[in-house]
Amino acid sequence: MPPAIGQADPTPAVGQCVQFHYPCSTNPDKTKNYEVGLKESFLDGKLTADVSIFRIDWDGIQTSITTSVGKTVLGYAINAGRPAARCRGRVDRETVAGFSVTFDGAYMKAALSKDIPDGAGLVGFKGDLLPGAPLFEGNLGVEQRFIVANHQAYAGADFGYVGDRKDNFQGRDTVTQLPIPRFDLPSYTKLDLHAGIDIDAWRVNFFINNVTDERGVVVRSAG
């Protein structure tokens, strides 16, 4: 079997990586993280806000690649350049008379800060988004708490959104040598419902996930 990401190809499979000319190991990846944030409450604690801005410089990201040699399909890992992720997140929560609203979201531009080196087997240019990284994703939740037969009960809903994304980096067309276009992963939403009641030391929960039966694409590949 080909090596796992970040691991050397063990014997006796070492002969396989030499035979099919793919890397027997990858170099370590490194990150530098910077973050600043603020958390504050307002209206006697009924409204809270948590805001943070952060940056991650990720050097030598390990990326998977698939290639074919005759009828043999090989998968292995390479180091593919240096992406930089810039993110901004915010969380708000407000509670009035047992009713609460929660919103959290993040804007993130996780992109290559330089081109993937020639000969890596993949094509990626400065500014290209990393695989599976949406520019925006967020969640809106509402919940109402009330009393049923002297017991605390609650019911609520959560609505989530994940923005458009790009799938894995691709190589070049063997005939034209032009970059193979990456697959688009469309945005999707998800609605969950929940309800419950606390009875003495017991809690009974009911929930329905993905009420609308949304089918979000998280990965796509040819074949």
Render pLDDT for 137-151 as a digit per residue (tens, 0 to 9).
999 999 999 999 999
Question: What is the domain count for the chain?
Answer: 1
What confidence score (pLDDT) does residue 70 get? 46
Tell me which residue range forms the domain holding 199.
Answer: 31-208
46 part of a folded domain: yes
pLDDT winner (highest mean) among 14-28, 169-183, 200-214: 200-214
* Sign of the dihedral defined by the CA atoms of residues 110, 111, 117, 119, in that order: positive
| Residue 170 DSSP code | B
In the structure, what pLDDT confidence band is assigned to residue 69 with cuts at 50, 70 and 90? very low
2 part of a folded domain: no
pLDDT surpassing 70 at residue 63: no
What confidence score (pLDDT) does residue 17 get? 57
In the structure, what pLDDT confidence band is assigned to residue 159 with cuts at 50, 70 and 90? very high
What confidence score (pLDDT) does residue 6 get? 40
64 part of a folded domain: yes
pLDDT winner (highest mean) among 17-31, 131-145, 197-211: 197-211
In the structure, what pLDDT confidence band is assigned to residue 109 with cuts at 50, 70 and 90? confident
User: How far does CA 129 lie from the centroid of its chain?
Assistant: 12
215 part of a folded domain: no
* Sign of the dihedral defined by the CA atoms of residues 95, 194, 102, 140, in that order: negative
42 part of a folded domain: yes
* Element holding 16 (H helix, E strand): helix 14-19
In the structure, what pLDDT confidence band is assigned to residue 60 with cuts at 50, 70 and 90? low
Burial class (CB in 10 A: 0-12, 13-18, 19+), 122: buried
Helix/strand/coil for 118: coil
54 part of a folded domain: yes
144 part of a folded domain: yes
CA atoms within 13 A on the CB side of 158: 13
* Cβ 48 vs Cβ 42: under 8 Å: yes
55 part of a folded domain: yes
Cα dist from 17 to 2, 10, 61, whole Å: 7, 10, 20
* Cβ 180 vs Cβ 172: under 8 Å: yes
Question: Does this model's pTM top 0.75?
Answer: no
64 versus 208: the higher-pLDDT residue is 208
pLDDT surpassing 80 at residue 123: yes
